[in-house]
């Protein structure tokens, strides 16, 4: 899966941008969004050919799907043949909200009952419904809802009406997400390390497990919502400073105010 958000719509922590980004050799500079998209499509084509040649089945590989919103947003993915594993990918949209979900939820059935949703609701649809509930009514802080999700998962939501991005990654580390900075400053998120390394050069890092990012709040841990996040410098095998890793700072607490009513920012932790 691949998501690209124009600078200003999603602004990751500044430490994700490598100090070497402007001085890298020509073959290792960050690429522009259109180049990243092209590389993603090429990888999918290679994957499709490999799957077809190595399988005795006559079934064809599903085509890559994408949704674009001018030059501001791109959401793209290709369905996985592993429909019951942490590699499964889903894409859905409703009421100008769009979600790409990777993985699976073990407790989806009980969550659907809790939220009063239909039995045929998949994980991506559930995530959008729970996001809408949080956004519009804010009965619980987002960290509490995410901690109730049992499974291996990662997802990215684009809320077109609110012009915001919400991303999260489960704590069990079976699903991997990576994020980085493109040549024009756009934020890139993908479950493909190849796509991120090729597109963002040194300005990338693993998206931290057990964490969430929201355009209005930034990066925070939903497992430890009272603690701040801190950037950990990262140097690669070539001795070049890369985009930083982010970890929970156990010695530092946030100073968030208690949430009051539906007008409170739902992404912030409760009292």
Sign of the four-CA dihedral 79, 177, 34, 164: positive
Cβ-based burial of 157 (10 A; exposed 0-12, middle 13-18, buried ≥19): buried
pLDDT mean values, one per 10 residues, the chain (271 residues): 97 93 67 95 70 39 78 89 72 96 96 95 96 85 93 97 97 96 97 96 97 95 95 90 95 61 54 54
Q: What is the pLDDT of residue 65?
A: 83
How distant, in Å, are the alpha carbons of 50, 51, 58, 63 from that of 54? 6, 5, 11, 18
Q: What is the pLDDT of residue 53?
A: 45
Q: Are 207 and 43 in contact (CB under 8 A)?
A: no
Beta bridge partners of 151: 105
- Write out the E strands in 26-177: 65-69, 73-77, 89-94, 97-105, 151-159, 164-169
Would you tell me how many other CB atoms lie within 10 Å of the CB of residue 50?
A: 11
Question: Length of the chain, please?
Answer: 271
pTM recorded for the entire structure: 0.88
């Amino acid at each position: 899966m691949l998501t690209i958000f124009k600078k200003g719509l999603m602004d990751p922590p500044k430490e994700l941008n490598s100090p070497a980004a402007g001085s890298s050799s020509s073959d290792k500079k960050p690429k522009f969004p259109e180049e990243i998209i092209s590389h993603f499509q090429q990888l999918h084509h290679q994957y499709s050919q490999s799957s077809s040649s190595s399988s005795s089945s006559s079934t064809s590989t599903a085509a890559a799907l994408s949704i674009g919103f001018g030059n501001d947003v791109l959401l793209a993915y290709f369905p996985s043949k592993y429909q019951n594993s942490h590699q499964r990918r889903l894409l859905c949209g409703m009421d100008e909200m769009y979600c790409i979900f990777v993985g699976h939820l073990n407790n989806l059935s009980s969550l659907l009952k809790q939220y009063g949703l239909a039995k045929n609701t998949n994980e991506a649809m559930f995530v959008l419904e729970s996001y809408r509930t949080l956004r519009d009514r804010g009965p619980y802080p987002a960290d509490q809802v995410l901690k109730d999700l049992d499974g291996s998962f990662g997802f990215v939501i684009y809320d077109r009406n609110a012009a915001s991005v919400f991303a999260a990654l489960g704590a069990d580390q079976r699903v991997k997400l990576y994020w980085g900075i493109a040549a024009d400053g756009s934020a890139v998120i993908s479950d493909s390390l190849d796509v991120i390394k090729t597109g963002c050069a040194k300005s990338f890092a693993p998206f931290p497990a057990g964490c969430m990012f929201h355009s209005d709040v930034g990066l925070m841990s939903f497992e430890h919502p009272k603690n701040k996040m801190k950037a950990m410098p990262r140097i690669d095998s070539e001795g070049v400073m890369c985009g930083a890793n982010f970890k929970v700072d156990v010695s530092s607490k946030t100073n968030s105010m208690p949430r009051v009513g539906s007008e409170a920012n739902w992404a912030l932790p409760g009292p």
